[in-house]
């Protein structure tokens, strides 16, 4: 059997319709994404940058105490901080 004409008798080309819809979709106006940073977040960023030297020093001290085995975890303080989250 030989088929010469594929566009006869109302044959549909789904791939062509999809590509046409993509081309027409490109021409439509696109919405742009927008990010807004709150004042609280900006304040947190500036505070973290200001105290970064102090934080680095504290982290190095903690690393050293963990390495030497002198770091002690106070379970009561951890429990006090976790308790409000567990009550929610």
Q: 41, 48 in Cβ contact below 8 A?
A: no
pLDDT per residue over 42-73, tens digit each? 888 887 666 778 888 989 999 999 999 999 88
- Residue 49 inside a domain? The answer is yes
Q: Assign 38 a pLDDT band (cuts: 50, 70, 90).
A: very high
- Residue 80 inside a domain? The answer is yes
- Residue 58 inside a domain? The answer is yes
- Residue 27 inside a domain? The answer is no
Owning domain of residue 56: 39-87
- Residue 32 inside a domain? The answer is no
- Residue 7 inside a domain? The answer is no
Assessment of whether the complete model's pTM goes beyond 0.85? no
d(CA 27, CA 53): 51
The tally of domains found in the chain comes to 1
């Amino acid at each position: 059997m030989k088929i010469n004409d594929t566009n006869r008798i109302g044959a549909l080309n789904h791939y062509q319709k999809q590509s046409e819809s993509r081309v027409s979709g490109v021409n439509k106006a696109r919405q742009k994404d927008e990010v807004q940073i709150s004042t609280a977040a900006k304040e947190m960023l500036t505070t973290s940058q200001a105290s970064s030297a102090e934080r680095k020093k504290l982290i190095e001290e903690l690393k050293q105490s963990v390495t030497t085995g002198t770091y002690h975890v106070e379970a009561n303080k951890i429990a006090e901080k976790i308790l409000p989250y567990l009550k929610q």
